Chain A
Amino acid sequence: GESVGLHLPTLSVQEGDNSIINCAYSNSASDYFIWYKQESGKGPQFIIDIRSNMDKRQGQRVTVLLNKTVKHLSLQIAATQPGDSAVYFCADVAGAGSYQLTFGKGTKLSVIP
């Protein structure tokens, strides 16, 4: 079946730098996307979401970009902090009445002090 996946399993960045985490999806019917942050031993926490009728959405220190042409999603974290170290997942909802999430495998972000 179709699934959401991630390009890179690990990412190391210096504290203060910007981080970019990428995600590719294959379901052309996907119309809603969410980024989650998961710290070790905890449940995923909502970071930001975006609908398919948008290209960009900004939150506090985070920006999500959606490129529907190439089915690509990215999460940008500005001024990365040690507390940002976690695994980040993208997930999508297929649309057309569906509201189940499909998750990618995740990218582990490590922030170097």
Chain B
Amino acid sequence: DGGITQSPKYLFRKEGQNVTLSCEQNLNHDAMYWYRQDPGQGLRLIYYSQIVNDFQKGDIAEGYSVSREKKESFPLTVTSAQKNPTAFYLCASSMRDRLQGYGYTFGSGTRLTVV
């Protein structure tokens, strides 16, 4: 079955460390996204990529970096510059075709905790 796989499910980071969250999709979607979710809050867009080798900052990109070397993969690095990284991180993908309803699909999330 097609879908999005995020790993790991839980991740612990020490102060000053960079960590990378994995996101892989086999839906043949062109666009991929990273969202951050804090308790009791909605989803805020960190970065998005419409096509391979291209990505754009979202609303809260500071302290994060991404790459899009393959269509299937969109890893997110939480750098030491992100002062409050503890959150639930969600990856999503979609088609770019509005006539087909985009097909937005979310992964199951990675919960990152700073220790």
Contact A101 B109 (CB under 8 A): no
Report the number of A-B residue pairs with Cβ-Cβ less than 8 Å.
54
The residues in A between 30 and 86 inclusive whose CB is less than 8 angstroms from any CB of B are: 31-32, 34, 36, 41-46, 49
Interface residues of A in 2-38 (CB under 8 A from B): 9, 31-32, 34, 36
**Which DSSP category, helix, strand, loop or mixed, fits chain B's interface?**
strand
Chain A residues within an 8 Å CB radius of B96:
99
Complex contact B94–A99 (CB within 8 A): yes
CB atoms of A104 and B108 under 8 A apart: no
Asked if B45 lies at the interface with its beta carbon under 8 angstroms from chain A, I say yes
Residues B90 and A100 in contact, CB atoms below 8 Å apart: no
Count residues of A near B (Cβ-Cβ below 8 Å). Answer: 22
Q: How many chain B residues touch A (Cβ–Cβ < 8 Å)?
A: 26
User: CA of A43 to CA of B34 in the docked complex: distance in angstroms?
Assistant: 12
A interface list, Cβ under 8 A from B: 9, 31-32, 34, 36, 41-46, 49, 89, 93, 95, 99-101, 103-106
Interface residues of B (CB under 8 A from A): 6, 31, 33, 35, 40-45, 48, 88, 90, 92, 94, 96, 98, 101-102, 104-109, 111
